[in-house]
Structure 1
Amino acid sequence: MLSALPLRLSQRLVVPVVCVCVTFIAIVDGAITTVALPSIARQFDLTTAALDGVVVVYPVCLAMAIPASAWLVERFGGKRVLLTALVGFLVSSALCGSAAGLGVLVVYRAVQGLSAGLLLPASAALLFGTFTPAEQVRVSRYMIVPQQIAPAAAPILGGLLVDHLSWRWVFYVNVPVGLPAVVFGALFLAGHHGGRPGRFDLTGLLLSAAALGTVMFGVCEGPNRGWSSAAVVTALALGAVLLTAAVVQQLRVGEPLLKLRLFADRLFRDTNLLNLVGLIPILGAMYLGPLFLQQAQGRTASESGLATFPEAFGVLLTVQVVGVLYARIGPRIIVGCGMTGVCAVLLAFATCDADTGPWTFRAYMFLLGLAMGCFFIPTTVASLATVDRSDLPQATTLNTVVRQTGGALAPAMVTTALVLGTPAAAAADPPVSAYQHAYLVLAALAAVTAVFAFTLPDGPARAAARGGTATAPARPARFRGRGQPVDS
């Protein structure tokens, strides 16, 4: 009887529901942990700085797991990979909450990161394999909701859990949220037949995982330890060598773990470049805002959360308009105008000082959200417009690698800009001018991204969004072999 259950609900409903839950859990977990660090430090009788490993190990292990995700999806099917990774994520979350010391907590966080590294690409492959390019824009208008609400709500939720329960519930909370998604997915998500994706490229996995993990460590630790510290310089240099070796090896083998040849397609390459650079000013502004409010203006964490929350409403408003306009005017105009707007708002932020009122800051955050909303959906959908359906797992994996890298570069860029704008005598307390300097740096990056966006060759993306022939038509996401869809 259970085998018939997946046919009772349309996969066009089941897949988005599961992907929304997965996205929400992964984003909240990444944003909520920092709230609990002071409480964890007190319980383990450590300084907050000593808990750096708890934060850094997650993105490092996430980056190391991503390269294997496409092969696993093609071999075992999206459903198996997604649900297995989600179960691993929930189990490791429970173990993090029960950790009796720093060492085991770091180990369990590493397992969380490895699980998340499989979750995100598998989720994206299922989602984009279920809907045609013309439908993906409409679906993305709803998928953007958890992506915006999660990071805005995470600090508030984390503060409530830490204050009224304990820091352990920052990790325990993943279980009651994720367990229903596991049950729902197991019952109603269509089974995806694994195929023969080719020989597993172990050398490619070792090289790419080591390269991404080492680079991610260097980028995350650079602002904390200093970019000239021996550990950071060694990590970045070693990462560059490993990355070069991985690229050369992946281009030479017949069945690579990461299909870097996809970057030969200009639209795929350019949209990923936009994500790599464009996410730095966008996510950098989201990282810098709370720092400015709490450190430069002396506001509480709650006041900071309320002041930055309007950004989510701005994004949610804009994406509805973008969903209507995408097929008509294409991603080039939308992304270019959006990043121009981001640049203008960041320049407005650069005028804020210690006397800037909270309502002015909220207005700027809302405007930033309006501009940011022009970026996410067009770059995501357009990146896959000219990708063959059989290459979707590989393409979504590469997209995830690029976005994770951009996400890691954002706080590193902000912290570095703050350090460079702060006199040595006031290193522990950056002045208002340092924050203004950081906003100007982010505005400059947004301007560069906007100029590049206006060169995007988006004709194929518009054709695909109108139901044209830019890509082979998608069917409900059941994959055979190298991701080729079969009838449900």
Structure 2
Amino acid sequence: MLASRPSSPRSFRPSQRLVVPVVCVCVTFIAIADGAITTVALPSIARQFHLTTAALDGVVVVYPVCLAMAIPASAWLVERFGGKRVLLTAMTGFLASSLLCGAAADLGQLVAFRAIQGVSAGVLFPASTALLFATFTTAEQVRLQRYMIVPQQIAPAAAPVVGGLLVDHLSWRWVFYVNLPVGLPAVVFGALFLAGHRGARPGRFDLPGLLLSAAALGALMYGVCEGPNRGWSDPAVLTALALGAVLLAVAVAVELRTTAPLLKLRLFADRLFRDTNLINLIGLVPIMGALYLGPLFLQQAQGRSALESGTSTFPEAFGVLLTVQAVGVLYARIGPRIIVGCSLVAVSAVLLLFATCDADTGLWTFRAYMFLFGIAIGGFFIPTTVASLATLPRADIAQASTLNTVVRQTGGALAPAAVTTVLVLGTPGAAAADPPVTAYQYAYLALAALAALTAVLAFTLPDGPARAAARGTTAAHRSAPAAARQEDADGGTYGGGTRRDPHESTHGS
């Protein structure tokens, strides 16, 4: 009898609309925190291996280089094997390499294991983004990001403080071991409750595209990261940048002619996707540049301690958390154009305030500026991310997420390079290692000018379709809530179980 049939274990599975955000929050928190916490441990690592801190440059550079090289393959992997398997495999690799980094016996081992960490992180970011955008509509994404932004802001702010405590009271090895207590429960939770997916058939693997794009991005990332340290005229830096540029041009030509490319560059024909990515690329330079410059100014120009620096930059996170609540309410009403444009104007204004800081500026004044800076940048991240995917077919979400990650990583890498270059240019003679206060002021002015330039571009953003998607008025996005409800009934993500959403034929997340 139908009434006596025992309940299926699958009926007890939590909703994917809860499971997916939990897993993605943990992934994002760990990956962001790891990038911020490692730098704190470098002096201790140098003492352990009897090296200078400068000799550990490879530990820092290898991570973004390998991350950039892995990103191009992430969309194909998600489409072929499904978001769950790719995300959990990459997370397991990240945690295993974290354990190996902590147990490294010499510098060579540490660099090698950091490379594995970078490769794993390069797959994690696009896979988690694809899962989120496959599970929630655009309107829901805006509301969801009001909460997901919390760990994204807490991680980089808290990581240096936690890292300092671990190094001082335990060992530098714990800055890597600390990933496990957060990551292992997330992997177990995801393995148990994240809905499976059979994947799709995205086409033959584009090996030429992978080799060309990975080599191009890796070379460019190396040149950008090493340029400020070695000098932009260094032969190794020039060679890497030139080689990367040539390989990138060849990769673009090949990918545009390939039927099933690894990087679907044709998506940039969509103006909203193209413009939001351009704004991200340029706009992240003054935003991330200021976050990089603040601790340098406090510790080098003012002689503050690392603890004073950490507690003085932390107020930025609180400013962001306040603004994103308003963004979640206003996005569908006024659209990303006004929000992002006004955000960048505010960023430029606050950077001008920073440019007035000197050796006598008090900590509480600097903290107030950091709080204002957080309020300003809080209107940048969510609208650009959500709007970039608002008008694309859902089958292209994994590919678009991959391209978004490439752009964001590039912008993030350009930020410290730009700041360091301005500091060097503003430092007279052989005192490049000790820039004067005026050099920091010039750097803030340069970042303010770049933010203002990006604001002009943001005010031209064609955001009508983005507002429509946020209100749920397009057919493509109206179908998503129904699919999500069906997913909860069936116990699988879109395309999981025995049913497949017709809109989800290829993205496999």
Shared fold, TM over 0.5: yes
Counterpart Cα distance in 1 of 2:47 and 2:412 = 29
| Mapped partners of 2:176, 2:48: distance in 1 | 16
**In structure 2, how many angstroms separate the alpha carbons of the residues matched to 1:482 and 1:103?**
47
- Out of 68, 76, 87, which is 1:71 matched to? 76
Pick from 153, 158, 182 the counterpart of residue 148 of structure 1. Answer: 153
Q: Match of 2:284? A: 279
User: Is residue 64 of structure 2 the alignment partner of residue 43 of structure 1?
Assistant: no
1:387 and 2:392 equivalent?
yes
2:311 alignment partner in structure 1: 306
CA distance in 1, matches of 2:219, 2:284: 21
Q: In the TM superposition, what is the alpha-carbon distance from 1:426 to its structure 2 partner?
A: 1.9
What amino acid is the match of 2:86? V
> Partners in 2 of 1:87 and 1:3 — Cα distance?
29
Matches of 1:412 and 1:485, distance apart in 2: 38
Distance 1:470 1:26 in 2: 35
Hey, what does 2:174 align to over in structure 1?
169
Residues 2, 187 of structure 1: 8 Å contact kept: no
Shift of the 59–323 alpha-carbon distance from structure 1 to 2, 3 Å rule, reads: same
Judge conservation of contact 1:33–1:170 (CA < 8 Å) in 2: yes
Q: Could you say what the CA RMSD is over the residues aligned between the two structures, in angstroms?
A: 1.7
What letter corresponds to residue 74 of structure 2 in structure 1?
S
Counterpart of 2:430 in 1: which secondary structure? helix
| CA contact 2:200–2:506 (8 Å) conserved in 1 | no
Counterpart among 30, 35, 54 of residue 25 in structure 1: 30
Q: Is the 8 A contact 1:215 1:236 kept in 2?
A: yes
Q: Which residue of 1 aligns with 2:93?
A: 88
Summarize the Cα distance change of 1:216–1:353 in structure 2 as closer, same or farther, 3 Å threshold: same
Match of 2:126 among 114, 121, 130: 121
Query: Separation in 1 of the partners of 2:9 and 2:371?
Result: 46
CA distance in 2: counterparts of 1:211 and 1:2, whole angstroms = 53
Distance 1:193 1:383 in 2: 27
Q: Distance in 1 between matches of 2:291 and 2:225?
A: 17
- What SS does structure 1 have at the residue aligned with 2:460? coil
Which residue, out of 218, 223, 226, partners 2:228? 223
Task: Report sequence identity in percent.
Answer: 80
Deviation by residue 1:21-72 (Cα, 9 ceiling, x = unmatched):
0000000001100000000000000000000000000000000000000000
Please, what TM-score do these two structures have when normalized by structure 1? 0.98
Q: 1:486/1:228 Cα in 2 relative to 1: closer, same or farther (>3 Å)?
A: closer
1:346 corresponds in structure 2 to 351
The one-letter code sitting in structure 2 at the alignment partner of 1:478 is Y
Q: What pairs up with 1:97-246 in 2 under 5 angstroms? A: 97-246=102-251
Structure 2 counterpart of 1:484? 505
The alpha-carbon distance between structure 1 residues 2 and 69, as it changes in their structure 2 partners (threshold 3 A), is farther
* Contact kept in structure 1, 2:312 and 2:367, CA below 8 Å: yes
CA contact (8 A) 1:463 1:470 kept: no
State the distance in 2 between where 1:124 and 1:100 align: 35
Unpaired stretches in structure 1, ≥5 consecutive residues: none
Counterparts of 1:366 and 1:239, CA distance in 2: 38
Deviations 1:384-437 (A, max 9, x none): 010100000000000000000000000000000100111023212100000000
CA distance in 2, matches of 1:76, 1:253: 21
* 1:207 alignment partner AA: L
1:265 aligned residue (270, 292, 296):
270
Deviation at 1:192, TM superposition (A): 1.5
Query: Are residues 221 and 74 of structure 1, via their aligned partners in 2, closer, same or farther at CA, if it must alter by over 3 Å?
Result: same
Q: 1:33 corresponds to which letter in structure 2?
A: T
Amino acid at match of 1:222: G
Map Cα deviations across residues 287-338 of structure 1 (whole Å, 9 max, x no partner): 0000000000000000000111000000000000000000000000000000
Q: Is the 8 A contact 2:217 2:248 kept in 1?
A: yes
- Give, in whole Å, the separation in 1 of the partners of 2:226 and 2:196: 41
Give the equivalent residue in structure 2 for 1:403: 408
Q: How far off is 1:110 after superposition?
A: 0.2
Instruction: Count the aligned residue pairs.
Output: 488
Q: Match of 1:133, as an amino acid?
A: T
2:487 is aligned to: none
Residues 315 and 374 in structure 2, CA contact (< 8 A), matched pair in contact too: yes
**For the residues of structure 1 that align with 2:383 and 2:290, how far apart are their CA atoms?**
20
Distance 2:508 2:276 in 1: 31
Partner of 1:364: 369
Give the counterpart letter for 2:275 in structure 1: D
The separation in 2 between residues aligned to 1:248 and 1:4, in whole angstroms, is 50
In the other structure, the counterpart of 1:413 is 418
Asked if residue 453 in structure 1 is aligned to residue 458 in structure 2, the reply is yes
Give the CA deviation at 1:176: 1.2
CA distance in 1, matches of 2:395, 2:476: 11
> More deviation in 80-89 or 477-486?
477-486
Matches of 1:263 and 1:31, distance apart in 2: 31
8 Å CA contact 1:461–1:470 kept in 2: the answer is no
Give 2:59's aligned residue.
Answer: 54
Query: Match of 2:494, as an amino acid?
Result: R
Closer, same or farther: CA 487–281 of 1 in aligned 2, 3 Å: closer
Contact 1:392 1:483 in 2 (8 A): no
Give the whole-Å Cα distance in 2 for the aligned partners of 1:7 and 1:89: 30
Q: In structure 2, the residue corresponding to 1:353 is in which secondary structure?
A: coil
Question: How many Å apart are 1:483 and its aligned residue?
Answer: 4.3
**Shift, 1:7, TM fit:** 5.4
Q: 1:3 to 1:395 in 2, by over 3 A?
A: farther
Partners of 1:118 and 1:29 in 2: how far apart? 15
Instruction: Label 1:2 to 1:378 Cα distance change in 2 as closer, same or farther (>3 A).
Output: farther
Q: Which amino acid aligns with 2:107?
A: L
Higher deviation after alignment, 421-430 or 211-220: 421-430
Displaced runs of 4 or more, over 2 A: 1-7, 470-488
Name the CA distance, whole Å, in 2 between partners of 1:471 and 1:56. Answer: 41
CA offset digits 1:102-138 (Å, max 9, x no partner): 0010000000000000001000000111001111100
Once the two structures are TM-superposed, the CA of residue 486 in structure 1 deviates from its matched residue by 11
Q: Tell me the alpha carbon deviations over residues 61-98 of structure 1, each in whole angstroms, 9 at most, x when there is no partner.
A: 00000000000000000000000000000000000000
Deviation at 1:471, TM superposition (A): 3.9
Structure 2 letter corresponding to 1:9: P
Cα 1:347–1:188 change in 2 (3 A) is same
CA separation of 1:95 and 1:2: change in aligned 2, threshold 3 A = farther
**Deviating more after overlay: 3-12 vs 254-263:** 3-12
Is this contact kept in 1: 2:78–2:507, CA < 8 A?
A: no
2:174 counterpart letter in structure 1: W
Instruction: Kindly state the Cα deviation for residue 6 of structure 1 after the two structures are TM-superposed.
Output: 7.9
Aligned partners of 2:132 and 2:418: how far apart in 1? 32
TM-score, structure 2 length as denominator?
0.94
Structure-2 residue corresponding to 1:437: 442
CA-CA distance at 1:5 after TM superposition: 4.5
